[in-house]
Amino acid sequence: MLEGLAERTLAYLFEEPARLLGLGKTVAAVGALDLIAGAMGHVAVFADTVLQRLQPHPGADRALADIYPTLVTWWVPETIVGCMPGLALVAVGWSLAAVARQLKRAYF
């Protein structure tokens, strides 16, 4: 059942380059949103740290999950290592879009 799944999926994407282009744009957009969320999280943590330093007895630095305990923040990158999957998604998305454009130019 799963033997031909990869071949059928690739054939489906390569038959119409617009599908591959749409997939590439979507993957790149998901990676970019991940990186934007990480940047916004970094700004929130930095602002919280600055506000804590202004107090007479500053506490320990808090993570994003400590600042927003009711929000799901496990997917938001907080370090450079955490940003790597987002960067990889953007790179893969751009690569898929470039392949789709070359296919469209060459065959369609």
CA 62 to CA 65: how far, in whole Å? 8
User: Residue 10 class from Cβ within 10 Å (0-12 exposed, 13-18 middle, 19+ buried)?
Assistant: exposed
Sole residue written with tokens 């799944």: 5
In this structure, are residues 87 and 14 in contact, taking their beta carbons and an 8 Å threshold?
no
Q: Each residue of 40-51: pLDDT tens digit?
A: 999 999 999 998
Mean pLDDT for 1-19 is 86
pLDDT at 59 over 90: no
Q: Could you state, in order of their start, the residue ranges of all structural domains in the chain? A: 17-107
Question: Left if phi > 0, otherwise alpha if psi is -120 to 50, otherwise beta: which for 25?
Answer: alpha
Give the chain's length.
108
pTM: 0.83
